[in-house]
A and B are shown apart, each in its own frame.
Chain A
Amino acid sequence: MNAEQWLRERTYHHSAFWDLKKMVAQKEEQNLKISLCLPTLNEGATIGKEVVLLKSALMDHYPLLDEIAVIDSGSTDDTREIAAAFGADVYLASEHLTEAGDRKGKGENLWKALYLLEGDIICYVDSDIANIHPRFVYGLLGPLIENPDVHYVKAFYDRPLAFSQGIRPTGGGRVTEILIRPLFSLFYPELAAIIQPLSGEYAGRRSVLEKIPFPVGYGVETAMLLDIYNDMGLSAFAQTDLDTRVHRNQETIALGRMAFGILRTFFNRLSSHERIELKGELEKIMRQHRVEDGRFDQVEYQIEEFERPPINTLESYREKFGLGG
Chain B
Amino acid sequence: MRAAGSKPGVFPVTGTVEGASAGNGKGNGNPRDGDGDAVGLLADLPGLLAPLREEMLADLVMIGQTPAPTGAEERRVQYMMDRFAESGLPEAGPDEAGNAVGFLPGRVGDRTILLVAHLDTIVPANVDHNATVLADRIEGPGISDNSLGAAALTMLPTVLQKLNIRLNCNLQLLGSVKSLDRGDHAGLKFFLDHASRPYNYGVCLEGVPLGRLNYFSIGTIRGDISCRVRPVESRSYGSESAIVVLNYIINRILAIETPTRPFTKIRIARVRAGKSYDVDPDKAVLGFEINSHSDEMIGRVTEQIEDIVSEMSARHAVDAELDVFFRRTAGGLRFSHPLIRACVQVMEGLGIEPDQGHSPSELSEFIARDIPAVTLGISEGSKHHDQIDYVMIEPVMRGMAQLVGLLTALDRGDADAPAAS
A residues in contact (CB < 8 Å) with B: 44-46, 48-49, 51-53, 55-57, 60-61, 78, 81-82, 85-87, 130-131, 162, 164, 167, 246
Contacts and interface: CB of A to CB of B under 8 A. Distances in A.
A86 B131 contact: no
Interface size range of chain B in the complex: 10 to 19
B134 A56 contact: no
A167 B129 CA distance: 13
A130 B130 contact: yes
B97 interface: no
| The 3 A-B residue pairs with the shortest CB-CB distance in the complex, in nearest-first order | A48-B133, A56-B58, A49-B133
B61 A53 contact: yes
B55 A60 contact: yes
B61 A52 contact: yes
Given A55-B54, A56-B57, A48 B65 contact: no
Nearest to B129: A131
A53 B62 contact: yes
5 contacts: A46-B132, A52-B57, A53-B62, A86-B133, A130-B130
Contacts of A78: 135
Given A56-B58, A61-B86, A82-B135, 4 more contacts: A49-B131, A60-B52, A61-B55, A87-B54
Nearest to B135: A82
Given A78-B135, A85-B135, A131 B130 contact: yes
A87 B55 CA distance: 12
Contacts of B52: 60
Nearest to A165: B128
B24 interface: no
Interface of B: 51-52, 54-55, 57-59, 61-62, 65, 86, 126, 128, 130-135
Given A53-B62, A60-B55, A44 B134 contact: yes
Given A130-B130, A131-B65, A246-B130, A48 B55 contact: no
B268 to A, nearest CB: 33
B126 A162 contact: yes
Nearest to B58: A56
B55 A56 contact: yes
B61 A82 contact: no
A162 B124 CA distance: 14
A164 B126 CA distance: 11
Given A57-B58, A86-B54, A131-B65, A52 B133 contact: yes
Contacts of B62: 53
A38 B57 CA distance: 19
Contact of A49 (B61, B86, B128, B135): B61
Contacts of A57: 58
Contacts of A85: 135
Nearest to A167: B128
Contacts of A53: 58, 61-62
A45 B57 CA distance: 16
B55 to A, nearest CB: 5
B401 to A, nearest CB: 19
A208 to B, nearest CB: 31
A63 B62 CA distance: 19
A165 to B, nearest CB: 8
A325 B65 CA distance: 51
A60 B54 contact: yes
Contacts of A60: 51-52, 54-55
A209 B135 CA distance: 33
B132 A49 contact: yes
A53 B61 CA distance: 8
A189 to B, nearest CB: 38
A45 B126 CA distance: 22
Nearest to A164: B128
A82 B57 CA distance: 14
A143 B62 CA distance: 25
Given A131-B65, A162-B126, A48 B58 contact: no
Nearest to B52: A60
A25 to B, nearest CB: 16
Given A60-B55, A86-B54, A48 B130 contact: no
A9 B134 CA distance: 41
B97 to A, nearest CB: 28
A56 B135 contact: no
B398 to A, nearest CB: 17
Contacts of A246: 130
Nearest to A61: B55
A45 B55 contact: no
Nearest to B132: A45
Which of A44, A46, A52, A167 has the most C-beta atoms of chain B within 10 angstroms of its own C-beta?
A: A52
A85 B53 CA distance: 11
Nearest to A81: B135
Contacts of B133: 48-49, 51-52, 82, 86
A56 B132 contact: no
B54 A56 contact: yes
Contacts of A82: 133-135
A48 B132 contact: yes
Contacts of B126: 162
B53 to A, nearest CB: 8
Contacts of B57: 52, 56, 86
Nearest to A60: B55
Contacts of A48: 132-135
A154 to B, nearest CB: 24
Contacts of A51: 54, 133
A162 B51 CA distance: 37
Contacts of A87: 54
Contacts of B135: 48, 78, 81-82, 85
Contacts of B132: 45-46, 48-49
A184 B128 CA distance: 36
Which of A61, A87, A167 has the most C-beta atoms of chain B within 10 angstroms of its own C-beta?
A: A61
Contacts of B61: 49, 52-53
B140 to A, nearest CB: 10
A193 to B, nearest CB: 32
A81 B51 CA distance: 18
